[in-house]
Amino acid sequence: MWMADTIGLPVIAQRLAHHAAVRGDAFGYWTAARRLKELEAKAKGAS
């Protein structure tokens, strides 16, 4: 969680999406958790 606080949840979600696009996501390894998406949306809305 320290890393998420340091670089921000939107960056983490963006990198997960990037890896899913580049490497494929057939088994959902790169899919962001629902809670991460909720927190990311809240962080974007607060800015």
Q: Could you read off the pLDDT of 5-45 as tens digits, one per residue?
A: 888 888 988 999 999 999 999 999 999 899 988 888 887 65
Q: Note the pLDDT of residue 9.
A: 85
Q: Note the pLDDT of residue 37.
A: 87
Residue 13 burial (10 A CB sphere; 0-12, 13-18, 19+): buried
Residue 28 phi, psi (nearest 5):
80, 15
Q: Note the pLDDT of residue 47.
A: 46
